[in-house]
Each structure stands twice: as C-alpha cells, then as structure tokens.
Amino acid sequence: MAEIKTTANAGSVDEFLASIEDPVRRADGIALKEIFERVTGEPAVMWGPAIVGFGTFHYTGTSSAGEWMTVGYSPRKASQSLYGLHGAYEENPGLVEALGKHSTAKSCIYVKKLADVDVAALEQLIRAAMERDPNS
C-alpha cells in the first residue's frame, strides 16, 4: 500500500497563516482557524506545508491507509479550500443554499472570500462533519 505524503507535523499554524501574502486570504485564514477551533474543540495542526487540520481519523483506502484530518482548510491562491465538509454538505441540502457563494469539486468546498458565506451555515457544516463517520 502507498504511504500518504501529507501528514500532520509540528509546523506552526500561526507562522504559516502570518506568511500568507494576500491580506484578505491571510485574514480569512486566521478567522477560519478561530472558527474551526471553536466549533470542533480541536487544536489547529499543520498537515503538510499548507493545510490546517482539526481532529483525526484512521482510513483505509484502495491504495493507501493512515491518519487524516477530520476537517480542515488551506488558504490557496484562488480560494480557501475547505476539506472534510463535503459529506456533511451533501447530507444537509438546506445548508448548501444558506452557505452562500461557493463552489465544489470532488471532496472540497471552495470559498473565495469568507465575507461571501454565511458563517453560521459554515459552522453548522463543520459541526455536522465532525459528527458523521468520515469513512462512510
């Protein structure tokens, strides 16, 4: 089985977020850290060089197995990539409309600016994602 390359590490989340050049993306990244920590009750942990994750679970896939974050995000150049919420998103269609301006692809939700989404709906998605079985 292949070994996963993106793993939790001891990198500083605060240093990573402070290093983001774009001021809006940086501010959104800091705000998302606070939201995810508050809702999940889990500390922010760096996964690889550019993903901030919260909580963990063990998975076994067809080509790899290991630990992965339950939910997380990455402040990419084009948007904030939100991980682990897609299953909860599909199970809660009312939240899809309430979330606001976003897009999806595969297992990610993409948000260009945090100001474009309803934070209460985002918090509900995070909560629902933490409560569901990530292996389902």
What is the rounded average pLDDT of the residues 89-118? Answer: 88
pLDDT of 18 > 70? The answer is yes
In the chain, how many domains are there? 1
Distance CA 4, CA 59 (A): 11
Q: Bigger pLDDT: 120 or 106?
A: 120
In a domain? residue 1: no
pLDDT of 61 > 60? The answer is yes
In a domain? residue 15: yes
- Do the strands 80-83 and 51-60 form a parallel or antiparallel pair, or are they unpaired? unpaired
pLDDT of 1 > 60? The answer is no
Within 7-131, residue ranges assigned H as helices are 13-18, 23-40, 86-91, 93-99, 119-131
pLDDT of 104 > 80? The answer is yes
DSSP-based three-state secondary structure for 51: strand
Q: Vertex 94, ends 81 and 28: CA angle to 5°?
A: 30
In a domain? residue 2: no
In a domain? residue 136: no
In a domain? residue 3: no
Q: What is the domain range of residue 103? A: 8-131
pLDDT of 52 > 70? The answer is yes
pLDDT of 86 > 70? The answer is yes
pLDDT of 136 > 70? The answer is no
- At what angle are helices 119-131 and 23-40 packed, to 10 degrees? 50
Exposed, middle or buried by CB within 10 Å (0-12, 13-18, 19+), for 72? buried
What is the rounded average pLDDT of the residues 44-61? Answer: 92
Torsion, Cα 79 85 90 94, to 10 degrees, reads: -80
pLDDT of residue 58: 86
Tell if the pTM clears 0.85, that is, is over it. yes
DSSP-based three-state secondary structure for 41: coil
Domain of residue 60, CATH code: 3.90.1150.200
